[in-house]
Amino acid sequence: MFVAAALALLATMILTIARALLGPTLYDRLLAVNSFGTKTVLFIAVFGFLTGRPEFLDIALVYSLINFIGTVAVLKFYEYDDLGSGAYQEDDF
């Protein structure tokens, strides 16, 4: 079962990389990279179960958080050209 899941995840990761390389706009590439990160988290978890060592889950946990932070950081950088800029709407917060 875990072999099938790992193969499905690997196939999807290849498709995601294809979109990241093809993607006409920057946002297509970012979407592909974010989606790739989610699949990596799942793949690490599945691989841990596949090899009978679920301790890999710690790495998956850290990777899911870093993936989100990376995506939001790149989005913010391309939006404002500055990672330290404030909110663009004061009543948002």
Partner 1 sequence: MPEFIAILLTLFAWVLMLIGCVFIVAGGVGLVRFPDLYTRLHAAGVTDTGGTIFMVLAMILISLSQYQNPWIAGKLLLILFFTLFTTPTASHALAKTALLSGLVPKDEHGKPIIDSPELAQKMALSRAPKDGSVNLTPGASDNADNNKSDGNS
Q: Using CB under 8 A as the criterion, which residues of the chain lie in contact with partner 1 when the complex forms?
A: 1-2, 4-5, 8-9, 11-13, 15-16, 18-19, 22, 25, 27-28, 30-32, 34-35, 38-39, 41-42, 45-46, 49, 54, 57-58, 60-61, 64-65, 67-68, 71-72, 75, 78-80, 85-86, 88-91
Residue with Cβ nearer partner 1 (51 or 80): 80
Q: Can you say whether the dihedral through the CA atoms of 29, 33, 34, 35 is positive or negative?
A: positive
At closest approach, how far in Å is the CB of 15 from partner 1? 4
Q: Of 60, 56, 22, 58, nearest to 39 (Cα)?
A: 60
Distance, CA of 72 to CA of 69 (rounded, Å) = 5
State the CB neighbour count (10 A cutoff) for residue 59.
15
Smallest separation, CB 89 to partner 1 (Å): 5
